[in-house]
Amino acid sequence: MIWPTKKLGEICQIRTGKKDVNEGNPEGKYPFFTCSREISHSDVYSFDAEAILVAGNGDVGATKYYKGKFEAYQRTYVLDHFKEGDVRFIYYFILAGLKKKLLQDKSGSTMPYVRKGDLASFEIPLPPLSEQQKIVYVLDSIQEAVGVQDKIIEKTKELKRSLMHKLFREGTRGAKLKKTEIGKIPENWEVVRFTDSLDKKAKFKIGKLKQKEYEKSGKYPIIDQGNENVAGYSNEEAKAYQGKLPIIIFGDHTRVVKFVNFPFIIGGDGVKILIPKEESFDAKFFYYLLLNLKIESRGYNRHFPILKEKLIPLLPFSEQREIAEILQTVDQKIEIEQKKKELYEELFKSMLNQLMTGKIRVDNINL
């Protein structure tokens, strides 16, 4: 059975937001939707509805659903006052196909954008309302599972932050504390300069790639100072790291810290390779120690000079490994929950495609 369709402009109002992006207020009461993935806030609202929002430029075609009072950027389209259909079903259908269609239609444009006519002419299928509601139930259920994973991941990250704060001040042995330049620490710990913790005699070779040279697959992962553990891949063996492993990467501009125990190639600028003295520090402990250091942001300026001036604790090897093992266990938990989230997200994409194309039908399912 082929579902009947109607143009989006026939089933709802299509309006634009009222405000410029600089009219938001971080302390505002109402969500302020813009053309990016970020949501700002506003002191006032122009809309009070169950609505679908579509970015007219910026992250062109990005789609959000919201119900309540909100403000919107003047280049964000607000779809509301629906005459028929389940609004969340329509939202999911737009999410499934609009952005891809828009980008295909505007592939020759240097700055893609959405016209009101593009939205008004977009065809929406309208299966029976009961089937729309069942499709929404399935997709909402998967999205709720993703949300649950997000909460688990965030709570586990909070646990990690709390553990790091405690372990790097009190240790694992319940020892008495003493006052030092870096605050109270166990009596059998020492305080050393960060620069004195590095193996300055360690020798290594490594090449560097520009971002445009990154590949989607290859023999060697590319490590840069971005938040992603691996930024890309390359087969340029001559540029691969040759030296002692594991090592720690410090992003001079971003302050991002990474533990690397495999051959790799550096991507972009601002990557510092740190090799701790093996007679003084366990490499995994040293990585967590750097993660716990507070390095104030200087924007896109360099931060390694700040790191070089830091004082850090030096403790017995056995206790370093205990701390590293505790924190690594928490990291493994985070990784497991991240993978679960990714599986739910892949399931959502698959079900979104198959439900919206009628490959999977739910009309005969009793919920």
Structure tokens belonging to residue 282? 């366990």
Give every CB contact of residue 196 below 8 A, 6+ residues apart in sequence.
none
* Interval 65-79 mean pLDDT: 95
**Looking at residue 213, which CATH number applies to its domain?**
3.90.220.20
Asked if residue 171 is part of any domain, the answer here is no
Give residue 1's pLDDT.
Answer: 57
Residue after which a domain boundary falls, among 105, 126, 147? 126
Asked if residue 146 is part of any domain, the answer here is no
Beta bridge partners of 260: 247
Least confident of 48-57, 106-115, 349-358: 106-115
Asked if residue 332 is part of any domain, the answer here is no
Give residue 98's pLDDT.
Answer: 81
* Interval 341-355 mean pLDDT: 97
* Interval 12-26 mean pLDDT: 89
Alpha helices in the chain (DSSP H): 8-11, 87-105, 116-120, 129-170, 283-292, 304-308, 317-356
Confidence of residue 363 (pLDDT cuts 50, 70, 90): confident
pLDDT tens profile 32-69: 998 776 788 999 999 999 999 999 888 888 899 999 99
Q: CB of 156 within 8 A of CB of 171?
A: no
Asked if residue 132 is part of any domain, the answer here is no
* 37 lies in the same domain as 122: yes
Confidence of residue 261 (pLDDT cuts 50, 70, 90): very high
Spatial separation of the C-alpha atoms in residues 263 and 246, rounded to whole Å: 9
Domain that holds residue 257: 190-314
* 16 lies in the same domain as 114: yes
* 195 lies in the same domain as 270: yes
Asked if residue 140 is part of any domain, the answer here is no
Asked if residue 155 is part of any domain, the answer here is no
Closest CA to 163 of 154, 172, 150, 175: 172
* Interval 329-353 mean pLDDT: 98
Residue after which a domain boundary falls, among 266, 284, 314? 314
Asked if residue 230 is part of any domain, the answer here is yes
* Interval 253-265 mean pLDDT: 97
* 104 lies in the same domain as 205: no
Closest CA to 129 of 67, 79, 87, 80: 87
pLDDT tens profile 132-153: 999 999 999 999 999 999 999 9
Give residue 364's pLDDT.
Answer: 81
Asked if residue 89 is part of any domain, the answer here is yes
The structural domain count of the chain equals: 2
Mean residue pLDDT of the chain comes to 93
pLDDT tens profile 218-249: 999 999 999 999 999 999 999 999 999 999 99
* 122 lies in the same domain as 228: no
Confidence of residue 114 (pLDDT cuts 50, 70, 90): confident
Residue after which a domain boundary falls, among 95, 126, 157? 126
Give residue 61's pLDDT.
Answer: 84
